[in-house]
Amino acid sequence: MMAKLLRSWVRICATFGPGLAIVAMDIAFRGERISRLDHDGRLAWALSAIGTVVLWGALVTLAARGGRLFRLVFQTLLVLFAVVVVAGQAYTFVRYAAYVNHRAVLVGTNMLPSVGSQLWADRATVGRLIAPVVALALLAPAVRRALRDKKRDFLDNLSARRAGDLLVVGLLLFATLDPDHFAEQGAPPDVLYIQAMGQLAKARWVHDETVERLHPGKRTPRPIPALTAAPARPRNVLFVLTESVRAQSVCVDPKAPCEITPFSHRAAPKRLPLLGMRGVDSTTAISLAVFWSGVAPTASREAFHEMPLLWEYAAATGIDTAYWTSQNLLFGNSGTWLEGVKFRHHTNATTLDPDADLDTGADDAKLVDKVLLDLPDMHEPFYGVVHLSNTHFPYLIKDELAPFQPQMENSGPGYEIPMRNRYHDAIYAQDWAVGKLIDGVRKSPFGERTVIVYLSDHGEQMREKGAVGHTGTLYEQELRIPAWIDAPRGTLTDSEQTALTTLRSAPLLTLDVFPTMMDLLGLWDRPKLGNLAAEIPGQSLLRGGSDPSIAREITNCTALWACAFRNWGAISGTRKLIACQADRDWLCYDVANDPGEEHLLPKERCADLLPLAERTGRPF
């Protein structure tokens, strides 16, 4: 009798053990966070945890019953689900302190390439996660079958058909339930994955362009030749990159009055302003590719994914590297695109805050605290990126740092002033953190040897041309960005200082950012760069930058990131020829005389730009 009871309990454990193990894993990872959910959130998590146990129990039952072929099919499915769902989600949590959920999928995470590349890129870590998962997935049905009772007890009465019914109903239930009924990340990892796949299938069915357009994928960078850094002066480089901040809303010129960004204004009084800096796009993913790899927005998809990034050039020469960001790297394959890049220090939104918003990210102030904590561990010379996020719509504000009132999140017509106030409050709060960062760097032992470069990835429209946000147009509000360089005495040569001073009001493009960073690190004129340098269209600002009379393509529709709102154009100096999907012809402006782009010029004034603009696309 005792033996039979023991066999029954062992079989129960084998049947429901995998599901219980997943729930236990989630509690081990996030026990404190789960306990902090509200009553409804804890109830939803508990019910979905019960569903996890039942679903995996049904799958184990199917893998333990029937003929050999039937069992093999479901054993294979069991192992496959265990690896992709459980190990994949566990690995995602190890990297980001969060699981992949429906929000991450619907903003562009290509699930199969992402999961596959992640598992392969970090095989050692993944192996440690996969081994126990696969062992349990193989062992559970084997034990379940070996200890079956030929006289059929209640477990054997759970026939393959009933187990199949439970499995199908459970999968459909979780796949079709509205995940917004749950708290953010408010379910076990397998349920979050099923929800994500259900929402993805729904989006594919209705041809939602958000999930159907192109996004960055996994990179396969070309090998970097043996280089030796030879900077003109010994220096470190800290690249402070913000999000969605337009030049007209901040204090770029240190001599101008300043209300919105007073903290950085005070902390860097001798900064060298670049008042005419414009992007060649207004989309974060495209801007980052331009900044970090040097390619033009119209480059091929292969070029985007093959060109090495600044960190990789630096690391190849022994320069220490870091990437601190409050951006949520689960957005749009951002994390996948950076796989394989080695940093001494790396922080992202979900390691700062597991519940970080996909748009506004984690608190920029927390990120700055982490940067200042890590900086003493960096070896000189170093190249570090501090990538901020809170100024993305809907704009993260702090009541104690919100002087622009009234403000509100409503971006509809009629709310232009309170929405602009909210935007400025977000910039103000972020600038408090930037000021703290600059002060901390300057007070550090290496502060007098560190050049700080400040830029935004693109601008932001506040309904001046019809919308709130970015990516929709190529007007000045979305293209013209703040840019300045704060270089302590002795970190620049006289000729470099003169070049930057001369460029104060010159029309510039972000194509020159990558060469400038390489030049600061002493890598730009290395003869061994060869073909790599030949594919980079920009020139170092330390040497005068690119000739502004050379026309360049500008667009948000690229092979790396397919635009939601089509727009195309070309720019030469201060003349722009642009169009978006709603226009019936090309629009010609000269922003030197018409900074608000209120007065359309005859198209003939931009006739030389037309062939180049039409290479990017034609809406008519």
The one-letter amino acid code at 24 reads A
- Contact status, residue 290 vs residue 281, Cβ threshold 8 Å: yes
**Looking at the predicted structure, is the pLDDT value of residue 252 above 70?**
yes
* pLDDT band per the 50, 70, 90 thresholds, residue 12: confident
Which residue range is the domain that position 319 belongs to?
A: 237-403+429-490+497-525
- The average pLDDT across 378-406 equals 96
Q: Are strands 483-486 and 320-325 parallel, antiparallel or unpaired?
A: unpaired
What's the chain's length in residues?
620
* pLDDT band per the 50, 70, 90 thresholds, residue 286: very high
Please report the DSSP string for 483-538 in residue order.
Answer: EEEE--TTSS-HHHHHHHHHTTTS-EEGGGHHHHHHHHTT-TT-GGGTHHHHT---
Q: Nearest-CA neighbor of 142 among 2, 15, 21?
A: 15
- The average pLDDT across 593-608 equals 95
**Looking at the predicted structure, is the pLDDT value of residue 440 above 70?**
yes
Of 52-61, 174-183, 431-440, which range is least confident?
Answer: 174-183
CATH number at residue 464: 3.40.720.10
Give the rounded distance of the alpha carbon of 44 from its chain centre.
Answer: 29
Bridge partners of 578?
Answer: 569, 587
The whole-angstrom separation of Cα 612 and Cα 573 is: 14
Three-state secondary-structure class, residue 272: strand
Residues 263 and 173 both lie in one domain: no
Residues 60 and 135 both lie in one domain: yes
- The average pLDDT across 370-382 equals 97
User: Contacts by 112-116 with C-beta closer than 8 Å and gap 24+?
Assistant: 113/217, 113/218, 113/336, 114/218, 114/333, 114/336, 115/84, 115/88
* pLDDT band per the 50, 70, 90 thresholds, residue 593: very high
Q: Provide the domain count of the chain.
A: 2
Q: Is the peptide bond before 297 cis (omega within 30 degrees of 0)?
A: no
Of 136-145, 305-314, 442-451, which range is least confident?
Answer: 136-145
* pLDDT band per the 50, 70, 90 thresholds, residue 112: very low
Phi, psi of 465 (to 5 degrees): -120, 25
Residues 18 and 62 both lie in one domain: yes
Asked, for residue 88, whether it belongs to a domain, the answer is yes
Question: From the CA atom positions of the chain, what is the Rg in Å?
Answer: 27
Asked, for residue 580, whether it belongs to a domain, the answer is no
E strands along 234-275, which residues? 236-242, 272-273
Residues 106 and 253 both lie in one domain: no
- The average pLDDT across 150-165 equals 58
Of 267-276, 318-327, 551-560, 576-585, which range is least confident?
Answer: 576-585
Q: Report pLDDT for 230.
A: 92
Of 375-389, 485-499, 518-532, 540-554, which range is least confident?
Answer: 518-532
pLDDT in tens, 478-534: 999 999 999 999 999 999 999 999 999 999 999 999 999 999 999 998 777 777 888
Asked, for residue 221, whether it belongs to a domain, the answer is no
* pLDDT band per the 50, 70, 90 thresholds, residue 580: confident
Asked, for residue 620, whether it belongs to a domain, the answer is no
The whole-angstrom separation of Cα 53 and Cα 19 is: 4
The whole-angstrom separation of Cα 324 and Cα 361 is: 12
- The average pLDDT across 128-136 equals 65
Q: Nearest-CA neighbor of 540 among 250, 314, 343, 274?
A: 274
- Contact status, residue 90 vs residue 132, Cβ threshold 8 Å: no
Between these two residues, 107 and 92, which has the higher pLDDT value?
A: 92
The whole-angstrom separation of Cα 160 and Cα 166 is: 10
Quick one: residue 15, left, alpha or beta (phi over 0 = left, psi -120 to 50 = alpha)? alpha
Q: Report pLDDT for 234.
A: 96
Residues 277 and 367 both lie in one domain: yes
The whole-angstrom separation of Cα 97 and Cα 90 is: 9
Of 186-190, 302-306, 519-523, which range is least confident?
Answer: 186-190
Residues 6+ away with beta carbon under 8 Å from 247: 275, 277, 456, 459, 480, 481, 482, 483
Of 54-58, 339-343, 371-375, 408-412, which range is least confident?
Answer: 408-412
Token representation of residue 595: 């900074």
Residues 116 and 249 both lie in one domain: no
Please report the DSSP string for 165-233 in residue order.
Answer: HHHHHHHHHHHHS-GGGSPTT-S-HHHHHHHHHHHHHHHHHTT-HHHHS-------PPPPPP-----SS
Q: Report pLDDT for 285.
A: 93
- The average pLDDT across 130-140 equals 63
- The average pLDDT across 542-558 equals 95
Asked, for residue 143, whether it belongs to a domain, the answer is yes
Three-state secondary-structure class, residue 82: helix
Confidence (pTM): 0.77
E strands along 225-377, which residues? 236-242, 272-273, 277-278, 320-325, 345-347
Residue 116 has, within 13 A of its CA and on its CB side, a CA count of 6
The whole-angstrom separation of Cα 268 and Cα 451 is: 11
- The average pLDDT across 129-144 equals 62
- The average pLDDT across 157-179 equals 74
Residue in this structure with the two tokens 């619907």, named with its chain if needed: 106
Residues 378 and 255 both lie in one domain: yes
Quick one: residue 578, left, alpha or beta (phi over 0 = left, psi -120 to 50 = alpha)? beta
Phi, psi of 386 (to 5 degrees): -110, 105
Q: Report pLDDT for 413.
A: 72
Q: Nearest-CA neighbor of 252 among 242, 395, 360?
A: 242
- The average pLDDT across 468-485 equals 93
Measured CA angle at 325 (ends 320, 330), to 5 deg: 120
Q: Report pLDDT for 8.
A: 64
The whole-angstrom separation of Cα 225 and Cα 237 is: 22
Token representation of residue 10: 């062992």
Q: Tell me which of 525, 541, 572 is where a domain ends.
A: 525
Residues 246 and 202 both lie in one domain: no
**Looking at the predicted structure, is the pLDDT value of residue 275 above 60?**
yes
The whole-angstrom separation of Cα 525 and Cα 588 is: 36
**Looking at the predicted structure, is the pLDDT value of residue 456 above 90?**
yes
Residues 96 and 242 both lie in one domain: no
Asked, for residue 619, whether it belongs to a domain, the answer is no
Q: Report the largest interatomic distance among the alpha carbons of the chain, rounded to a whole angstrom.
A: 97
Residues 100 and 177 both lie in one domain: yes
- The average pLDDT across 551-559 equals 93
* pLDDT band per the 50, 70, 90 thresholds, residue 114: very low
pLDDT averaged over the chain? 85
Q: Report pLDDT for 61.
A: 80
**Looking at the predicted structure, is the pLDDT value of residue 591 above 50?**
yes
Token representation of residue 554: 């500008």
Bridge partners of 80?
Answer: none
Residues 164 and 291 both lie in one domain: no
**Looking at the predicted structure, is the pLDDT value of residue 108 above 60?**
no
Phi, psi of 57 (to 5 degrees): -65, -40
Q: How many CB atoms sit inside 10 A of residue 599's CB?
A: 9
* pLDDT band per the 50, 70, 90 thresholds, residue 384: very high
The whole-angstrom separation of Cα 192 and Cα 107 is: 15
Asked, for residue 572, whether it belongs to a domain, the answer is no
The CA–CA distances, whole Å, from 45 to 35, 40, 51 equal 10, 9, 10
Kindly tell me the burial class for residue 610, based on how many C-beta atoms sit within 10 Å of its own C-beta (0-12, 13-18, 19 or more): middle
- Contact status, residue 60 vs residue 160, Cβ threshold 8 Å: no
Of 151-165, 220-234, 378-392, which range is least confident?
Answer: 151-165
Q: Report pLDDT for 283.
A: 93
- Percent pLDDT > 90 in the chain is 52
The CA–CA distances, whole Å, from 27 to 55, 66, 90, 91, 129 equal 18, 34, 12, 16, 16
**Looking at the predicted structure, is the pLDDT value of residue 1 above 60?**
no
Most confident stretch, 95-99, 104-108, 217-221, 236-240 = 236-240
Asked, for residue 231, whether it belongs to a domain, the answer is no
The whole-angstrom separation of Cα 422 and Cα 410 is: 10
Residues 172 and 31 both lie in one domain: yes
* pLDDT band per the 50, 70, 90 thresholds, residue 111: very low
- The average pLDDT across 109-135 equals 53
The whole-angstrom separation of Cα 452 and Cα 449 is: 10
Of 60-69, 110-119, 263-272, which range is least confident?
Answer: 110-119
- Contact status, residue 412 vs residue 466, Cβ threshold 8 Å: no
